[in-house]
Amino acid sequence: MTSKRAASVARQRAHEALAIHRQQRLEREKANETDLTTYLLLEQQIADAEEHVHEVVAALRRKQGEHLRHWHDRGEKLSEIAKLTGKPVAEVSRLMKATPEPAHTDVG
């Protein structure tokens, strides 16, 4: 009878140990799913933020180009503008070209 009792106790202990193991695995998988979901949401937020930053920087560069164009339209040479801004002439020219021409209105 002792061996049946010992076998029953061993089965019970094995069952309990496996139940604990399964529960821990489920908890880990749930935590992993939560972390992965959060990671992917943050990845999308980063992509959105990078796009927004790119748009803001592009708008600011257009404004820079606009002011460089005004400066040039008042007769300043590109080389002098480049010297004063610390930018190469090619960069000054590129910024100005990226800016739309101002609309000319005839006042008469």
Residue 98: predicted pLDDT: 87
Whole-model pTM above 0.85? Answer: no
84 domain-assigned: yes
Residue 101: predicted pLDDT: 76
Q: Which residue has the higher pLDDT, 1 or 97?
A: 97
- pLDDT category at 14 given cuts 50, 70, 90 is very high
pLDDT digits (tens, 9 = 90+) for 43-90: 999 999 999 999 999 999 999 999 999 999 999 999 999 999 999 999
Domains of the chain: total = 1
Q: Which residue has the higher pLDDT, 99 or 56?
A: 56
Q: How far apart are CA 69 and CA 72, in angstroms?
A: 5
Q: How far apart are CA 48 and CA 60, in angstroms?
A: 18
> 34: which 2 tokens?
């939560």
Q: Calculate the alpha carbon distances from 19 to 12, 16, 23, 25 in Å.
A: 10, 5, 6, 10
104 domain-assigned: no
Q: Which domain holds residue 9?
A: 2-97
Asked if the model's pLDDT at residue 38 lies above 90, the reply is yes
Could you give the percent of the chain with pLDDT greater than 90?
83
pLDDT (mean) for 10-27 = 96
Q: How far apart are CA 77 and CA 82, in angstroms?
A: 9
103 domain-assigned: no
102 domain-assigned: no
User: Which residues make Cβ contacts (< 8 Å) with residue 79, sequence separation at least 6?
Assistant: 89
Nearest to 89 by CA among 101, 77, 98, 99: 77
107 domain-assigned: no
45 domain-assigned: yes
106 domain-assigned: no
